[in-house]
Amino acid sequence: MAIYETGINGKFSGAVGTVVGATWKGKKYMRIRPGKSKIPRSPGQLEQQAKFSLLQPFLLSMRGIVMLGFKDSAIQMTGINSAYAYNYKHAIIGAYPAFELDYNNVLVSLGPLLNAPDTVAEAAGNVMVTMRWTNNSGIAMANADDQCMVVLYCPEDKRSVCITTGTERSVGIQTINAGVFKDKFVETWISFIAADGAHVATSIYTGQLRVL
């Protein structure tokens, strides 16, 4: 790999023949594109690949919210990489090649802000989903103006509908339109983010429901 300041005849990124140009930490560099290995992958490598293949569509479907939701725990990495690291370790069950996500242990955010008690997700009809919670403002790191964060993930479609800054903690309810998942099952989570965006709460899994 060679780091360069002005590029070869100017800046470039991507692949040119066998050379790949890119940027890392503000510096331009180029490297030789690796060839395909002829060495068979080990069982451990195959398991790792299968786990990442399971996690990738899930986390990328909600990229924006996990980038924000894992910023508190992202040390020398992006929020989505922190989300990968946590869920790879804690939220995958089964044996190769039949790995599954354990949604009850999945986190879509991880932080010091207090979440809310008595969280419930309900199919409210007319393709609306309602999230309810008990207002615990004033207890530890729980403020009345914290805003709720909501994730609905449809395993069948591998798609998510998210609210990043919803109603305030003191309101106790948030409604979200899930029309794209009508008659399908979704997995649901709730979290909170401080009004100034400084901190987030660790998400709570609020169960599976069918969008009516």
pLDDT over 60 (residue 18)? no
Place of tokens 């924000």: 68
pLDDT over 70 (residue 7)? no
The reported pLDDT for the residue numbered 3 is 44
DSSP H or E stretch at residue 63? helix 63-69
pTM, two decimals, is: 0.81
The reported pLDDT for the residue numbered 33 is 60
Cβ atoms 203, 107 nearer than 8 A: yes
Distance of alpha carbon 200 from alpha carbon 198, whole angstroms? 7
Cα distances (angstroms) measured from residue 128 to each of 147, 167, 184: 19, 15, 12
pLDDT digits (tens, 9 = 90+) for 88-130: 999 999 999 999 999 999 999 999 999 999 999 999 999 999 9
Closest to 129 measured CA to CA, from 204, 168, 187, 193: 187
Quick one: pLDDT band at residue 138, thresholds 50, 70, 90? very high
pLDDT digits (tens, 9 = 90+) for 151-190: 999 999 999 999 999 999 999 999 999 999 999 999 999 9
Fold designation for 43-210: Immunoglobulin-like (2.60.40)
List of residues 6+ apart from 164 with CB closer than 8 A: 64, 65, 68, 149, 193
Q: Where in the chain is the domain with CATH 2.60.40.10?
A: 43-210
pLDDT over 90 (residue 201)? yes
